[in-house]
Homo-oligomer: A and B are copies of this chain.
């Protein structure tokens, strides 16, 4: 084998070939040599304030662009990114974690190297728990298969992988990369045929079928296939919370987000009243199921994910989700007989009452008419998410949230990740004050790169979601003058909103900003969306005291 490559250059080449244009991270001495290689490559290094910020940014970048990556130093760096990487695992976001580590030679020389915790494999063991593949690049002959295999697993399973490079291995020669071949997965034809036959018969004979679409439609790029299926079948389509916006919310067959008794009654009635529910690429999580208020009869479901296809109570393995959806799209599912359900009503025109204090409900009603074609809605958790569920998203993939893993602090770094990948997109960000205090420093990174998201801090003076579950003094936080942040960061535009009139003025001004906008939206402590009130009630009951 010719040895023109080095371990570091091999990895960089594969990252470039996989389509990575930016990488997020914080440098540290165990990873500096690899940073030098990145600087020489076509990949732009986006330095964040924290590794946690890098992790959320790369997760969001991956959700919009198909693959994301972070590059961090050993332990003190990697561990700070563990939570976002775990979130990417939970919500299926393809993320490559690259970490430096102590050089192989220095490990024997010194008994205890800085940043070390227990053993040299501690970080690897930990990331193995939140990744679908991992490798430590310490043997040049194994490196090509390790790198190729690990990146392939990331792309195939849409979950994080981990690559660790001891710092003295970066410039060690290794075999040159072969031409990259991304193998497309194939279905077992016989199994596919049988499953399609059964599903087709079931759907064709159903009188009130419905599609429940989940986030894998987006992750596996199946939006076109879904559209074909919907067009051919005229089935109404609901989305899960995590899958919100996998189909345009202006689509005539789209009926809204389904979340059991937590969500809109009109959607619940269609889904739970269906005689056949075709679930496509959805995780059956507690949040997606409206904290277990969903009433879907298993004997009426066809549940297809990237991992398996289940019809009623039996399962088919070896079927690629795309083949299943496209197979159904080609089948005759009896579209002609079907009556069309009323699609989502147009939102009523919003008329501001200038002197009226702002409430969360009125806020989201107004925002619904502020969204434009280039808007990407990015939500943190709590009412930032629940209040945003009824926003009508214009295009596909324009709604990002940590709706299942529900980690606070996602939104600000996620906005960075979205807009770094495409400056044409404009993030519209909703974040509670508690979540904002966790990761807002990435607005510094946003400012540094000249990005212009519009950030609404829903300032209700504490962890209001928790107030509805269990009130206690621990739910209070210190109120900041959030609108003073631009003075600290020496960049950005901000204002305060107390009333509906203030909001009109703020939107008007924010729309034209070339810098980030930070809008401090003052809300009553117990103001809330209807969804939040229902959620709190349900959560506090589900594990009531004593």
Chain A residues proximal to chain B, CB less than 8 Å? 27-29, 32-33, 35-36, 39, 45, 47, 49-50, 52, 75-76, 79-80, 82-83, 86-87, 89-90, 103, 106, 109-118, 122, 125-126, 129-130, 167-168, 170-171, 283-287, 289, 292, 404-409, 437-438, 440-441, 444-445, 447-448, 463, 466, 469-470, 472-482, 484-485, 487-491, 539, 542-543, 545-546
Given A106-B542, A469-B32, A484-B488, also A405-B114 (CB < 8 A): yes
B39 touches A109 (CB 8 A): no
Determine the chain B residues whose CB is within 8 A of the CB of A437 once the complex forms: 49-50, 441, 444
What distance in Å separates the Cβ of A379 from its nearest Cβ neighbour in chain B?
A: 15
Determine the chain B residues whose CB is within 8 A of the CB of A76 once the complex forms: 83, 86-87, 405-408
Other A-B pairs beyond A111-B284, A171-B545, 11, CB < 8 Å: A29-B466, A50-B437, A76-B408, A86-B117, A90-B116, A110-B285, A114-B404, A438-B441, A448-B478, A478-B489, A484-B487
What distance in Å separates the Cβ of A426 from its nearest Cβ neighbour in chain B?
A: 21
Give Cα A55 to B110, complex, Å: 28
Closest to A448 in B: B478
Given A35-B474, A118-B129, A447-B478, also A284-B167 (CB < 8 A): no
Determine the chain B residues whose CB is within 8 A of the CB of A283 once the complex forms: 112
Q: Count copies of this chain in the complex.
A: 2
Question: Quick one: which of B129, B481, B485, B543 contacts A106, CB cutoff 8 A?
Answer: B543
A543 touches B167 (CB 8 A): yes
What distance in Å separates the Cβ of A525 from its nearest Cβ neighbour in chain B?
A: 16
A32 touches B114 (CB 8 A): no
Could you say which of A47, A167, A441, A543 has the most chain B C-beta atoms within 10 Å of its C-beta?
A543
Determine the chain B residues whose CB is within 8 A of the CB of A170 once the complex forms: 545
A110 touches B286 (CB 8 A): yes
A125 touches B115 (CB 8 A): no
What distance in Å separates the Cβ of A212 from its nearest Cβ neighbour in chain B?
A: 15
A487 touches B481 (CB 8 A): yes
Given A27-B472, A437-B444, also A477-B47 (CB < 8 A): yes
Given A28-B466, A35-B474, A490-B481, also A285-B438 (CB < 8 A): no
Give Cα A475 to B27, complex, Å: 7
Determine the chain B residues whose CB is within 8 A of the CB of A406 once the complex forms: 76, 114-115
Determine the chain B residues whose CB is within 8 A of the CB of A470 once the complex forms: 29, 32-33, 35-36
A/B interface sample: 7 pairs, CB < 8 A:
A52-B52, A76-B405, A76-B407, A79-B83, A82-B82, A90-B116, A112-B286
A27 touches B285 (CB 8 A): no
A481 touches B474 (CB 8 A): no
Could you say which of A32, A289, A485, A487 has the most chain B C-beta atoms within 10 Å of its C-beta?
A32
Given A76-B405, A125-B129, also A27-B106 (CB < 8 A): no
A287 touches B474 (CB 8 A): no
Determine the chain B residues whose CB is within 8 A of the CB of A52 once the complex forms: 52, 80
Closest to A124 in B: B129
B33 touches A545 (CB 8 A): yes
A39 touches B473 (CB 8 A): yes
Give Cα A445 to B546, complex, Å: 32
What distance in Å separates the Cβ of A2 from its nearest Cβ neighbour in chain B?
A: 19
